[in-house]
């Protein structure tokens, strides 16, 4: 891959954004006033693309553009521009399924690799809010609904095989983004790799342990095989708490550039992993003046509610809209058969929970030992304190990957998290 870009492609800069928007007449009304009245704010805090918020007298928009490299790293890590088209397609599809849970698409420019999206105000990144200890009372319910609807309606449970296979074909070429996950989630944290980093020297021995843990590496490899070979649903593909924007009333999912047809458990697991990381990080943020134990309880309750609502929602959708080619209802017509099918669906969700917890395990480990870390942990300044939180994360992650028989319900997981959290030495500052 090289940095060659298509003719006519120009990376935007804060100064060139207003002129660009002015050339798209349908956006002017939304901003109000003219080019000179628009204030541009660069907010590229994702890892990959550049993002500008543009505020006009009448309203704001969000401008997102692919660069021919990974923004966080720079030109030394080239990346295809096409990721913005996959984000666009996924936004449209997920938006149809889970109305109001993703930002509205205002404009797509295939030549400049630009998406102009609804500006989410006053939303903030969930991870920032959770690191600050803010509660989001509607988050669990809204995310459960988002997950159930996007996964169900893009799957063989809802679609004809023909429509599903066409969609698989369309997203199978998002290879550059899948490659990032294949490497950074399933491979690099388990080997010596220049991109890896961790809290050093505190976790040096643990990092070496992980790299030498054969059962763990086999478990990660089994999950990588699932990631490579399962086309269950159009998944978000990077569903951590940094890909979610919230207010106390509203939840929105952003950054769909990793979307492809993959295992449903990869999305569910990513979310659970990042909630667990936040739970363990709270120990590093707690103070005498503002103890975080009550917030930790809220995080675990949120996880439980998220899963139980998701499960109920998914089952209800399946019951009501299960007209896809998988598990054809035409085969289950008597009362006993319908009951049998309902029980099978419950077992199916149980299987999904098991796989999700395994994916949660690799997702937690990669945030401790791989390239991309989480604000929740990284904002703990004292490295000893941070390392203690990270150790607890690693311990639970290993259990999730290796003692799979231990976790039958989400409550088994929250109980294990609680036990680990309580065992860790408390430090009050």
Binding region for a second copy (CB under 8 A) out of 235-243, 298-306, 329-337, 396-404: 329-337
Say whether residue 346 binds a second copy (CB under 8 A): no
Kindly state whether residue 184 participates in binding a second copy, applying the rule CB under 8 A. Answer: no
Where b means 16+ CB within 10 Å and e means fewer, 133-164 reads beebeebbbbbbbbbbbbbbbbbbbbbeeeeb
Query: If binding is defined by CB under 8 A, does position 43 make contact with a second copy?
Result: no
Ramachandran angles phi, psi of 191, nearest 5°: -145, 165
In a 13 Å sphere around the CA of 235, the CA atoms on its Cβ side amount to 25
Distance CA 265, CA 360 (A): 9
How far apart are CB 57 and a second copy at their closest, in Å? 46
CB burial class (10 A; 0-12, 13-18, 19+) of residue 334? exposed
Q: State in angstroms the smallest separation of the CB of 403 from a second copy.
A: 18
**Rounded distance, CA 391 to CA 18, Å?**
47
Residues from 216 through 275 that contact a second copy (CB under 8 A): 217-218, 220-221, 224-225, 228-232
Q: How far is the CB of 152 from a second copy (least distance, A)?
A: 14
Task: Collapse the DSSP code of 54 into the 3-class scheme (helix H, G, I; strand E, B; otherwise coil) and give the result.
Answer: strand
Question: Pick from 130, 271, 276, 341: which binds a second copy (CB under 8 A)?
Answer: 341
Nearer to a second copy, 171 or 298 (CB): 171
> Are the C-beta atoms of 48 and 131 separated by less than 8 Å?
no
Could you tell me if 189 and 365 are in contact, meaning their C-beta atoms sit under 8 angstroms apart? yes
173 binds a second copy (CB under 8 A): yes
Compute the distance between CA of residue 378 and CA of residue 107 in angstroms, rounded to an integer.
Answer: 35
State in angstroms the smallest separation of the CB of 265 from a second copy: 12
Question: Does residue 331 touch a second copy according to CB under 8 A?
Answer: yes
Closer residue to a second copy in complex, CB, 205/214: 214
Kindly give, in sequence order, each residue whose CB lies less than 8 Å from that of residue 209, ignoring residues fewer than 6 positions away: none
Which residues lie near a second copy (CB under 8 A)? Answer: 156, 161-162, 164-166, 168-170, 172-173, 175, 178-179, 182, 187, 190-191, 212, 214-215, 217-218, 220-221, 224-225, 228-232, 325-328, 330-332, 334, 336-337, 340-341, 344
């Amino acid at each position: 891959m090289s940095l060659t870009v298509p003719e006519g492609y120009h990376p935007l800069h804060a100064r060139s954004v207003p002129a660009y928007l002015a050339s798209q007449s349908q956006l002017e009304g939304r901003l109000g006033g003219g080019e000179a009245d628009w204030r541009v704010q660069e907010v590229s805090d994702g890892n990959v693309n550049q993002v500008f918020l543009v505020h006009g007298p009448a309203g704001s928009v969000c401008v997102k553009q692919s660069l021919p490299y990974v923004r966080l790293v720079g030109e030394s890590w080239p990346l295809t521009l096409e990721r913005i088209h996959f984000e666009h397609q996924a936004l449209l599809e997920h938006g149809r399924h889970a109305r109001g849970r993703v930002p509205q698409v205002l404009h797509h420019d295939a030549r400049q690799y630009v998406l102009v999206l609804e500006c989410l105000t006053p939303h903030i990144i969930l991870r920032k809010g959770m690191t600050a200890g803010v509660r989001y009372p509607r988050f669990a319910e809204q995310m459960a609904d988002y997950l159930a609807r996007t996964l169900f309606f893009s799957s063989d449970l809802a679609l004809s095989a023909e429509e599903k296979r066409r969609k698989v074909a369309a997203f199978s070429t998002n290879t550059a983004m899948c490659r990032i996950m294949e490497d950074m989630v399933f491979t690099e944290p388990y080997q010596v790799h220049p991109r890896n980093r961790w809290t050093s020297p505190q976790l040096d021995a643990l990092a070496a342990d992980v790299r030498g843990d054969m059962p763990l590496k086999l478990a990660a490899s089994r999950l990588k095989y699932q990631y490579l070979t399962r086309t269950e649903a159009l998944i978000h593909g990077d569903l951590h708490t940094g890909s979610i924007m919230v207010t106390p009333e509203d939840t929105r999912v952003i950054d769909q550039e990793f979307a492809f047809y993959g295992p449903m458990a990869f999305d569910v697991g990513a979310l659970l992993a990042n909630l667990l990381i936040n739970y363990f990080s709270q120990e590093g943020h707690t103070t005498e003046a503002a103890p975080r134990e009550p917030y930790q309880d809220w995080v675990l309750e949120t996880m439980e509610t998220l899963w139980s609502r998701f499960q109920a929602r998914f089952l209800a959708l399946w019951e009501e809209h299960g007209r896809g080619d998988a598990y054809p209802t035409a085969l289950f017509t008597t009362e006993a058969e319908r009951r049998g099918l309902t029980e099978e669906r419950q077992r199916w969700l149980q299987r999904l929970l098991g796989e999700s917890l395994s994916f949660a395990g690799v997702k937690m480990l990669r945030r401790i030992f791989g390239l991309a870390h989480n604000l929740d942990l990284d904002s703990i300044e004292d490295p000893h304190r941070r390392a203690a939180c990270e150790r607890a994360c690693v311990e639970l992650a290993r259990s999730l990957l290796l003692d799979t028989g231990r976790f039958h319900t989400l409550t088994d997981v929250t109980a294990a998290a609680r036990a680990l959290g309580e065992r860790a030495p408390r430090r009050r500052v």
